[in-house]
Amino acid sequence: MSSNKKVRRIAILTGGGDCPGLNAVIRAIVKPAIHEHGIAVYGLEDGFHGLIYRKARHLESGDVSGVLTLGGTILGSSNKDNPFDHEMNVNGRDQRVDVSGECVDYIHEMGWDALICIGGDGTQSMAQRFQELGVNVIGVPKTIDNDLSATDVTFGFQSAVDVATEAIDRLHTTAMSHHRVQIVEMMGRYAGWLTLYAGVAGGADVILIPEIEFDMEVVAEYCLYRSRHGKRFTIVAVAEGAKPKGGKMVVAKVLQDSPDPIRLGGIGKVVAETIAEKTGLEARATVLGHLQRGGSPVPYDRVLATRFGHAALDLVLQGKFGMMPALQGKDIVPVTLTDAIHQLKLVPADHSLVRVARDLGTCFGDRTEAG
């Protein structure tokens, strides 16, 4: 969808989980919008929550001064507010209702010519639905999981890889000192990109990801092999969505008020307990949790987020709505939101980095490998 209408007012929201680089995107939109194009910019507070409850504030250039290096988002975020399935009290009863029509009315009342939605697959899915309702929408791809289709990389991913890699580096020393099997549980939901990249970068001996079902017998035997051949410690990097053959993902809790109610977590403890039981080796689990998504963005993500933000504003100015800037090769190119969300981007079992890791002796738990 395109339009030649003069753009005068736009709004930005950051949806889903926070991650490093969000503020860099906001900055890259706000500054040129104001200074180069005379556009008024509004920030919706706490993602789609601000759209539902009509909470927006006018952004000035000073609001984005000095935010490039800050993690998180100055606008706030929420991963529980879905305008198409929102929990609210109706006639004294809690019900789930579609309030998207009221959100569209608010957008029109505010005179916003475009809505820029920064987020992962959940945020972009809702953005696409608003586009179908006639709202001029542009998406910006964000997630530490790197599971959004149509873009090679999402901003936030590299920062999370750096944090997770440093954690593995630090756990190496204590694992070596105490001759332990050290399990590191990482985020990623249903995709193993974060664990794969951090595992390879940190020299993990075992990498367990959702895309490759693992056999605990194989993992246990691998740990024993290392112990018996002079390698008295083992580092296991496990994604929160990894699961054993014939088994299920470990669910920490279910949040019914969230668009994605399943919260994974706990596989690290399961793997540690099983290894200890089967081998007699001391095994400890460390869950990195939200440490992976906090803190300052690394330079790569600052640059990528800035490029995405600038490209998003360009799409608005060109009237190319229903689109999202994506990184393909070295270039930022526009893709449709439909292409961006049609399926999760998962790690292929024959991915080049998986093959590299296997050749270096890394165990993925699906076949017997000597260390």
Number of separate helices (H) and strands (E) present in the chain: 11, 15
Q: Could you tell me the end-to-end alpha-carbon distance of the chain, in angstroms, rounded to an integer?
A: 55
CA–CA separation, 128 and 23 (whole Å):
23
Q: Measuring CA to CA, which residue among 97, 81, 74, 88 is closest to residue 49?
A: 81
Tokens describing residue 108: 């029109």
Q: Measuring CA to CA, which residue among 118, 22, 319, 112 is closest to residue 126?
A: 118
User: What is the helix (H) or strand (E) element at residue 42, kind and residue range?
Assistant: strand 40-44
**How many other CB atoms sit within 10 Å of the CB of residue 252?**
12
**Any idea what DSSP says for residue 344?**
B
Strand partners, 325: 334
CA–CA separation, 219 and 273 (whole Å):
12
The SS3 of residue 62 is: helix
Give catalytic residue positions. 145
CA–CA separation, 287 and 160 (whole Å):
14
